Homo-oligomer: A and B are copies of this chain.
């Protein structure tokens, strides 16, 4: 195979012009201090002069380390989760920025079949993985077989002793409940994803019910829907069919936003007729009117912590489980005391 002549210089080229061996160049590149200051300096200079740039493929082949991490999004109901819920892109932006400090590039992927996943993981020689959502045992088997460090987000399976970045969802739910109760609400609904598959939402509901119980109030009415705008939009109708509740807590902002939207179309005004609180603290919370009161899970921090944890894991540092991120209530304008 012939490549275009005179492309980029290799370590041999620079070694040759400096008058040393390729190994010497490799040493200075890798910071092994096996080279005298003098030659090191000369090497560095010629590298700059000749515009040397290391070839990652070669490094990868030689070291078995790609400096690539994969981030894998669930492929929910064949829609692009990415544009479904801004949560993902906000997370990605912050994760990427942090992991790049460690010299890693991020490659994105969607979860297709296990065999596609394996091909993706192996052929690229991914050094680490970030996984969103739920994955089958088969997937984990693959990951374990290749000993790839990974971090899970919002994962709750205690059987799996894995790094998991999450917020204290139950506390978040509790906070939301507490806030609504203090405002004087007695009947509260919860709108979230299918509890069977969304552990996160289960926890959030749990927290809400704990607050309710503490105040001797009845447990929340539960409405399950899909975790996106449309889900919230649809749930609004079900919620408003009976007007027993004066407040609703949604498992995600995007659901809350959809719900508010539909409620307004149906003529119920927020927060006068209905208080709503969300969870996540997306940017979009301030896009809507009234601005959405929510439980912040500090997405930027989450992205950053995930990166830090993964970096740690890839450097061999086992254990190092990060404590859950503490959620907090962000007061905006979608909640108020009930009218009557």
Contact = CB atoms under 8 A, between A and B. Distances in A.
A141 interface: no
What is the oligomeric copy number? 2
Interface string A5-44: 0001000000000000000000000000000000000000
B288 A53 contact: no
B286 A261 contact: yes
A93 interface: yes
Contact of A261 (B1, B3, B123, B289): B289
Nearest to A97: B80
A118 B120 CA distance: 26
Nearest to A71: B108
A64 interface: yes
Interface in A278-328: 283-284, 286-289, 291
Interface in A113-143: 118-120, 122-125
Contact of A1 (B63, B93, B258, B291): B63
Given A105-B109, A257-B287, A261-B289, A123 B56 contact: yes
Interface residues of A, number: 60
B124 A56 contact: yes
A288 B289 contact: yes
Contacts of A291: 261
A106 interface: yes
Interface string A47-87: 00001011111101111101010000000000010111010
Given A106-B107, A229-B283, A229-B286, 14 more contacts: A8-B146, A53-B118, A55-B61, A55-B122, A55-B123, A57-B58, A57-B125, A83-B283, A86-B86, A88-B89, A96-B110, A261-B286, A287-B288, A289-B289
Interface of A: 1, 3-4, 8, 51, 53-58, 60-64, 66, 68, 80, 82-84, 86, 88-90, 92-94, 96-97, 105-110, 118-120, 122-125, 146-147, 229, 257-258, 260-261, 264-265, 283-284, 286-289, 291
Top 3 nearest A-B pairs by Cβ distance?
A89-B89, A57-B60, A82-B93
